[in-house]
Amino acid sequence: MKTLAIISEFNPFHNGHKYLLEEARRKTMADIALTIMSGDYVQRGEPAIIDKYKRSDSAMKSGFDMVIEMPAFITLQSAEYFALGSIKILEKLGVDYLCFGIENINPDEFLNSVDTLIDKADELDKLTKENLDSSSFTKARYDATVKILGSDKFISSNNVLALEYIRAIRKINSKMSPIPIKRISSTNKDIDLKSTKISSSTAIRENILNDYRCHVPDFSYEAIESSKKFYGIPNMEYEFDLFKYLLLINQKPMADILAYEQGLDNYLFKTALKNDNLKDFLKESTTKRYTSSRIKRLILNYLLDNKADFNDYDLDFYKVLAFNKKSQYIFRNSKSKPVLTKKDMDKLPASDQFILSKMLDASNMYSLGQGQELNQDLNKKIRRY
């Protein structure tokens, strides 16, 4: 049996995601489709608009056979480590095809550009470092990429992430085949809803209090509206209050935390002293070098005590959020251990139990901020479809 995978956030699940899955199945003719999905926090360094269980339910109803939760420390990193951590997990599951969306460019041209950038990796790194003193890593990498390719058509957050997926596949010598699928109608950065009814996650979140219904499948709309009714729209003020306590009062060290850079602790300490809310704090602390997403990821990693050395762990488990009968093929053939119950958790080696405990901490922090029940990972039965 052949398996395809999509690395996702589904924040929220929308018509474009449904199209991506349909195209992935059509192109690969795979028997099983799984997704490794960010948990309750996403790569932008924010709480997801609805919790992981509602998002995984939407994914299963759209046609996935299994949803796996991405460890929080992988989610809360830059594209390079986000991609590498996810690919390592998928490799142990025996995934045959990795499918992903790209923008502004056709698949063949995209793959040619990727080959050029990987072949010229040393030159890319050198140009990036030359620009790093005056800008963020993201901007420095952008300028270096444009110079090597001679065009900015390749550059978008989705394409850069897709590049990192392929770089990760090659780095670990995986036989996984990358399958780029061109997005239609909308790009990731669009903030306006499209008349085509396929709009970006960003646009849907921006219009979550307006009429966005036709841009998401019915099951996703019902999940979002139910969550809005009971819990409201998530924000990071709760997490920001925790952050200020740990930084200003507890003065917890920051030096070994993921996304930290020397001097950031003193810089953020001074900024947090002057600002009572997250919006003002981010406005003052964001610079060309330190993007708001990086600062928000650092805040969450700091709260969760996610350390830089977590990237050295060789994870030998995958946490299942939902599955169907067909996906049991993965349980039988994967090189790592599935976690569905408390008993499964207890059987893991100490290092895997430790990383899993960090995932549970992230879920509980989200639940506290949203006024939801604690310890859902231990008490909630995994959905079988």
What is each CA distance from 374 to 182, 205, 287, 362, 369, in whole angstroms? 40, 25, 36, 11, 11
Q: Any idea what the Cα angle at residue 296 is, between residues 52 and 306, rounded to 5°?
A: 70
Task: Indicate the DSSP class of residue 140.
Answer: H
Q: Is 19 annotated as a binding residue?
A: yes
- Type and span of the H or E element at 77: none
CA dist 141 and 131 (Å) reads: 8
How far is Cα of residue 201 from the mean position of the Cα atoms in its chain? 13
Rounded to the nearest angstrom, the gap between the alpha carbon of residue 305 and the centroid of all alpha carbons in its chain is: 18
d(CA 103, CA 155): 9
16 in a labelled binding site? yes
364 marked ligand binding residue: no
Q: Are the beta carbons of 51 and 13 closer than 8 angstroms?
A: no
18 marked as part of a ligand binding site = yes
Nearest 10 degrees: Cα torsion 265, 270, 273, 276: -80
Peptide bond before residue 180 is cis, with ω within 30 degrees of 0: no
324 is in an annotated binding site: no
**d(Cα 376, Cα 307) in Å, to the nearest integer?**
24
| Residue 94 annotated in ligand binding | no
Is 10 assigned a ligand-binding role in the annotation? yes
Compute φ and ψ for 140, nearest 5 degrees. -65, -40
Helix axis angle for 137-149 and 107-119, nearest 10°, is: 100
Q: Is 14 annotated as a binding residue?
A: yes
Residue whose entry in the numeric block shows the structure tokens 């990193």: 77
Check the annotation: does 355 bind a ligand: no
CA distance 348 to 356: 9
Check the annotation: does 78 bind a ligand: no
DSSP state of 200: -
25 in a known ligand binding site: no
Residue 111: in which H helix or E strand, if any? helix 107-119
Torsion sign, CA atoms 333, 339, 342, 348: positive
CA distance 218 to 86: 29
Other C-beta atoms within 10 Å of 61: how many?
17
- Tell whether 338 is in a known binding site: no
184 is in an annotated binding site: yes
According to the annotation, is 383 in a ligand binding site? Answer: no
* 12 labelled ligand-binding: yes
Number of neighbours of residue 147 by Cβ within 10 angstroms = 12
In the annotated binding site, the residues are 7-20, 101, 158, 183-184
In the annotated binding site for ATP, the residues are 7-20, 101, 158, 183-184
